[in-house]
Amino acid sequence: MSEERRTVLADAAIEVLADAGMRGLTHRAVDRAAGLPDGTTSAYFRTRAALLTALVRRLVARDQAELQAAGERTPPLRTPAELVHGLDALTRARLTGEGRRRSLARYACALESVRDPELREILVPRDNAGRERVRAFLAARGVPDPDARTHTLLSCVDGLVLDHLVAGTEVPAEALEGLVAAALR
């Protein structure tokens, strides 16, 4: 039960962070969001740093599971248009509904990680099936250093998501087409 309770609290912390920002992330706010008695969060995560670390670990685990599943259900990419389509689906998922809330929390954590090496290490991009699909596509087209190019492309997509999250708009397909074209040069 203890691990299940920690997961519930970390998920509630993600919601609090998305709704109230870093200043609003308190043990008491997480207790309320999780529907648990006051003091529950502090019993599991004694300090704010421990709570934030648990939140980031859970956020990364959820993101990784989502990217792994997306990559596994996607056949090998054959054309730039297929890659653009996949990136479009990713950006839409990160800008709407549950994905939007996680994006808000993710970027707040990224800023916090500037001053916290432990958080920064947790947030380092990880290998997953989605990332591998992009890398394999670029490698099949003879792109030099497909690992670095994949990192750059996905970092640019991440930047577009942040920009459009702030603006409250969708990422235009033309922007993704331009990024893919640049990655292939």
125's tokens: 């991009």
115's tokens: 């001053």
153's tokens: 């492309």
SS3 141: coil
pTM over 0.75: yes
CB contact at 8 A, 126 and 59 = no
Listed as own residue / partner, the contacts of 109-113 with beta carbons closer than 8 Å and 24 or more positions apart are 109/17, 109/52, 109/55, 109/56, 109/59, 111/22, 112/22, 112/52, 113/56
Angle between helices 146-167 and 173-184 (to 10 degrees): 160
| CATH classification at residue 52 | 1.10.357.10
pLDDT at 1 (0 to 100):
58
Q: Which residues contact 123 (CB under 8 A, 6 or more apart)?
A: 56, 60, 109, 110, 113
Instruction: Extract the residue ranges of the chain whose pLDDT is less than 70.
Output: 1
pLDDT at 125 (0 to 100):
79
168's tokens: 């409250």
Q: Tell me, what amino acid is at 103?
A: S
Domain extent, residue 56, equals: 2-184
Domains held by the chain: number: 1
CA distance 74 to 170: 23
CA distance 103 to 87: 15
CB contact at 8 A, 119 and 52 = yes
